Amino acid sequence: MTDISVEVCGLRLRNPTMLASGVLDETARSMLAVAKSGAGAIVTKSIGIEPRSGHPNPSVVELEDGLLNAMGLPNPGIDLFSKEVKEARKGGVPIIGSVFGGTEEEIAELAGMMAEAGADAVELNLSCPHAKGYGAELGSSPERVETSCRLAKRACGVPVFAKLTPNTSYIAELAKAAERGGADAVVAINTLKGMAIDPEAGMPILGNRFGGLSGPAIKPVGIRCVYEIYESVEIPVIGVGGVTTGRDAVEYIMAGAQAVQLGTAVWIRGEKVFREVCREISQFMKENGYDSVKEMLGVAHSGRH
């Protein structure tokens, strides 16, 4: 019998899927629905100190192979969101609180507040490509990534995950910096900076002009990043970017990811995608002689033994 449960930084997941930050995760009601749908864990909306309205519409463009979004980190602020975290924990799956900030100190303060709200782990959003002052400025510097992780670890007593940007040529160096700072795991990747133009209007479609590309189009980039990071650090890697099927998840796991996050797939296919992906992972394991997810972890680096 195949076992698709996994453990990440002491968190026991019934399966290796997580809801990625930014989809169906701003209210307890939506997070509880996702938990019921079969997700192994839930990552919340990225939350800041104060309420934020985000960028003007249009803020999302649907493409043939993914989504381009420039939401601009809209959120209700940590004070209001804390009660959503407390309620969402009733779903019986780990809740990972995503936070963002303009400085290392601010993101550390938020990490502590998210942990106090009851989050089982905290994900530091160090990589948003479309919110000026949040993400790229912190997440593109190994020194600032290291400091952010170190301060966040001091501020909270739960595992800290560093979500990294692919919009550099040195993501493995960022992962090593996160590890030096005490991060318990790294998450790769956030969206790729992109743009879409309306030819008839002769202007950018997004209100912010630039946005973050997600979905199947970025899966090869995500897998490559996970593969490189796995060879560079000792801490766990969580893969995200274009996971739509069980086979996609298996690719990430074989590249070195202990778990995978789904975002665009949920937007497109709905909450049922978690059960479908898990069923497909289990079926792949049965057909190829794997008894546990752990047996598949990182096999692409040396071949199956």
The catalytic residues are 128
Other beta carbons less than 10 A from residue 176's beta carbon: 20
Other beta carbons less than 10 A from residue 286's beta carbon: 12
End-to-end CA distance of the chain: 20
